[in-house]
Structure 1
Amino acid sequence: MPAEAPQIRLSIGGMQVEGVVALEVESVGYFAADRFNVACALSGRAGYFAALGKQDVTIEVAADGVGYATLLVGQLDNVRVDLGCNEVVLAGRDLAARLIDAEIAETFANQTASQIALTLAGRRGLTPNVAVTSTQVGQYYELDHARSALATHARSVTEWSLLTQLAQAEGFALWVSGERLNFGPWPQMTSMPVAPENFLTLTFDMINVLPAAVTVKSWNTRNKAVVSQSRGNGVGTTLVRPNLTAAQARSLATSQLTALGQHGVMMNATMPGDTMLRPGMTLVMAGTDSALDQSYAVLTVTRRLSARRGFEQNVTAYAMN
């Protein structure tokens, strides 16, 4: 690529690696790990790449060819050496992988969610950005202890799934950025005004057959009573879950109805790449002269950089109205 074109800087185990020819980084937001694929010219380095093993990886991009911004700090999961094409493809996830891959079956008696998050962050070498909580975790699931691995006979779960359950119980978000574990209130995201001319491709999918209501039914063992809570109006769907209180069933019905609504109008677009857009931000569309001129919440951003196509990103988002 010419000097003024976007540039990629790849470091593996703290050492810069030359010969990057293509890059893809998928950012998915919260409760999951971002993923990457990097293609490099092999150039006689088959022995080096074949012996890499599990290493930490840092991917940086200079959108203007000068100032570098970090796209992802992660873990190398897979190395594919293609001798015929003289190429190696490196794939992996961000550092949430350390927690996702770690099974856990221990108890955290008399601890709060934030204390557990601090413990697990330290255990995996992550810097904690943890909001303080006060509720002891045993109170979250009085009857369903296996869900949170807090009881003596709890089944094994991963450290990540445990943190996910605790974050959802607190109404928090959970994600890893760089080497930092974030466990706390949902961040306030900015809005970005856009128009059709800002995109290279732009499509909208509108689904007209989604359920308009959700009913959650449960049997509460403690109260020995049937629980049923509904949200929305019209043709609906029913979920059955064990041991919910009325408040929990109502909350689940609300969240499921919201999740269904996110599929009503979906936007898929390709645009010039940047290092700022991320899941959770809002795109405010104008210029279609239709009902499509509304706000869209970004679900995923997949950035691709290559000599042939330059720096592009694919964005998926859902209508918020």
Structure 2
Amino acid sequence: MLKSTAQAVRGAVKLNDVRITGWSGFEVENNSFSSSDTFSCQFAANALPADRNAAWFSTQQDMYVELFAGVPSNPNRYTPEDLTSWIYGQVDKISFDPVAGMIEVSGRDLTRLMIDAKTTEKWQNKTSSQIASIIAARHGLIAQVTATTTPVGKYYEIDHEHMHDARTEWDLLTQLARQEQFIVYVRGKTLYFRPRPSLGAPDTSALQDQLNKVTAAMQPQLDQANALIAQGQAYVKQGDQAAAGGDNAGAHALYLQAKTVNDQAGVIIANLKSGLGVQQKALKAQIAGAQASGAYPIIWTPPDPRTGFPTCNVTGLKLDRALTISRGIIVTVRSFNDASQKTFTATYPTNAVQKTKPGSSNSFGGAQTYFYNVANLDQQKTVQYAQAKYAEIIKHEMLMSFEIPAAGNDALDINTIIQLKGTGTAWDQVYYPDSLKRRLNIEEGYQLSVSAKNHAPDSQVMTS
């Protein structure tokens, strides 16, 4: 994994699409698909531009923030567009601490537009993907939507559903995503509605794009170093010729020139190796690891007999297991269907029954049961809903958290599948991120905190 360096990492902040100076740090949290991403950004009041000072902040009625961070090809000369945009969102709160001289803005990404919008619309003649596209357009968002084919009215029997009960547009989209086995989320000004990520052939295109950019950024400096090396070789050749002709003083001067340009080339190459070269090496390793495992690899190596210390490619690795869920769970779903005037019930796993372990009471020994009432499903959809809820709940069983330098890890996001190896425990398995926090400030540098979850392969419900 790449180590961030203060010399390489840069950040930028835009307010209402205009770059602003005076910020001292920010944090962006990417959350699981059902909620908004959030942000906070701090400003030193005495460092703000005169036209956007504390008085200006105090009178704002609406404000949009975009936060950028990354390692530009030229850290001394860059624009926000040379960095990665991590969030574009609307400010919910402005705070001013006059004693400390600090202003903080915090808010949510554009998911909030749909979370704050209620709807009672009927969509009986539309597919899930059409609904996602319509809602995206309604809020001025770009739609990146994978097409679905089943009309929602048929899929949910929505003609007969009590749609007069208001729900938010985001609730509607997340419900449609669950039923389609999709994910829905917002990045920047784009709404994504697409199938869930899965193991198998990994998509390393984002990593490859980063690698290509880093390699391209390195090329001019490599060309400069190679030109200097070639110039040094020419000086040496000329020096040899001067020495052969008896001009020792001229030869010495040419040899010194050769050393000077070779030293300059060496400095360029050393800077590349410690800067962009580190990124290039890390990206190549990530691509190779992802292609080998189909997931973002976290490798734990037990203590070395020679040193007594373990090693890991992340820091602060912590693992937890929720024992309530590890005893097993049962999901029961009940649905009254207005169209057929029938009640459908499904339990998953289908052979699960509550059973008490020897020496245990009912309160602690048996599987935990979750009950859900959902309107207007048929029997097949009731079973599918129970299965989906079961899969969702058991993801909480195994928990993992860690930190890594954020630089060089742009491709790690909520969509990434993570695989832990090497602990020799049941924690060695696949995880799905539910929170990623990127922080950029003077004290910590540029850091990424990750929390993820999944179920343990050995978790079983009590069966008869």
- Under TM normalisation by the shorter chain, which class is it? 0.7 to 0.9
Structure 1 171/200 Cα, relative in aligned 2: closer, same or farther at 3 Å? closer
Residue in structure 2 matched with residue 237 of structure 1 by the alignment: 369
1 CA distance for matches of 2:165 and 2:10? Answer: 46
Cα offset, 1:315, TM superposition:
0.8
1 CA distance for matches of 2:427 and 2:123? Answer: 48
Q: How many residues align?
A: 315
Structure 1 gaps, min length 5: none
Query: What TM-score comes out, normalization by structure 2 length?
Result: 0.62
Residue in structure 2 matched with residue 297 of structure 1 by the alignment: 432
Structure ranking higher in helix proportion: 2
2 CA distance for matches of 1:217 and 1:68? Answer: 47
The letter of the residue matching 1:165 is Q
Pick from 125, 137, 141 the counterpart of residue 122 of structure 1.
137
Indicate conservation of the 8 Å contact 1:227/1:245, yes or no.
no
What pairs with 1:208-227 in structure 2 (closer than 5 Å)?
208-210=323-325, 211-218=327-334, 220-221=336-337, 222=340, 224-225=342-343, 227=345
Residue in structure 1 matched with residue 313 of structure 2 by the alignment: 198
Of 264-273 and 206-215, more deviation after overlay is shown by 206-215
Structure 1 85/169 Cα, relative in aligned 2: closer, same or farther at 3 Å? same
Structure 1 168/19 Cα, relative in aligned 2: closer, same or farther at 3 Å? same
Whether 1:259 and 2:381 are equivalent positions in the alignment is no
What pairs with 1:92-111 in structure 2 (closer than 5 Å)?
92-111=107-126
Pick from 174, 191, 196 the counterpart of residue 164 of structure 1.
174
Structure 1 228/122 Cα, relative in aligned 2: closer, same or farther at 3 Å? closer
1 CA distance for matches of 2:33 and 2:431? Answer: 17
- Secondary structure of 1:209 counterpart: helix
Whether 1:207 and 2:339 are equivalent positions in the alignment is no
Whether 1:46 and 2:54 are equivalent positions in the alignment is yes
The letter of the residue matching 1:170 is E
Report runs of 4+ in structure 1 exceeding 6 Å deviation.
none
Indicate conservation of the 8 Å contact 1:8/1:20, yes or no.
no
Indicate conservation of the 8 Å contact 1:270/1:312, yes or no.
yes
Cα offset, 1:240, TM superposition:
4.1
What pairs with 1:132-143 in structure 2 (closer than 5 Å)?
132-142=147-157
- Secondary structure of 2:171 counterpart: helix
Residue in structure 1 matched with residue 186 of structure 2 by the alignment: 176
Cα offset, 1:168, TM superposition:
2.4
- Secondary structure of 2:396 counterpart: coil
The letter of the residue matching 1:85 is A
Structure 2 gaps, min length 5: 76-81, 204-294, 301-311, 356-366, 458-464
The letter of the residue matching 2:373 is R
Structure 1 5/163 Cα, relative in aligned 2: closer, same or farther at 3 Å? same
Structure 1 166/29 Cα, relative in aligned 2: closer, same or farther at 3 Å? same
The letter of the residue matching 2:59 is A
Indicate conservation of the 8 Å contact 1:76/1:93, yes or no.
yes
Cα offset, 1:239, TM superposition:
1.1
Indicate conservation of the 8 Å contact 1:121/1:128, yes or no.
yes
2 CA distance for matches of 1:264 and 1:111? Answer: 37
1 CA distance for matches of 2:25 and 2:422? Answer: 33
Pick from 442, 447, 450 the counterpart of residue 307 of structure 1.
442
1 CA distance for matches of 2:344 and 2:151? Answer: 27
The letter of the residue matching 1:9 is A
Whether 1:113 and 2:229 are equivalent positions in the alignment is no
Residue in structure 2 matched with residue 7 of structure 1 by the alignment: 10
2 CA distance for matches of 1:178 and 1:51? Answer: 26
The letter of the residue matching 1:205 is D
Greater Rg by CA: 2
The letter of the residue matching 1:122 is A
Cα offset, 1:29, TM superposition:
3.6
Residue in structure 2 matched with residue 249 of structure 1 by the alignment: 382
Cα offset, 1:174, TM superposition:
0.7
- Secondary structure of 1:260 counterpart: helix
Cα offset, 1:77, TM superposition:
1.7
2 CA distance for matches of 1:303 and 1:25? Answer: 5
Indicate conservation of the 8 Å contact 1:208/1:264, yes or no.
yes
The letter of the residue matching 2:433 is V
Cα offset, 1:302, TM superposition:
1.0
What is the root-mean-square deviation in Å for CA atoms of aligned residues?
2.6
Residue in structure 2 matched with residue 28 of structure 1 by the alignment: 31
- Secondary structure of 2:330 counterpart: strand
Cα offset, 1:219, TM superposition:
5.4
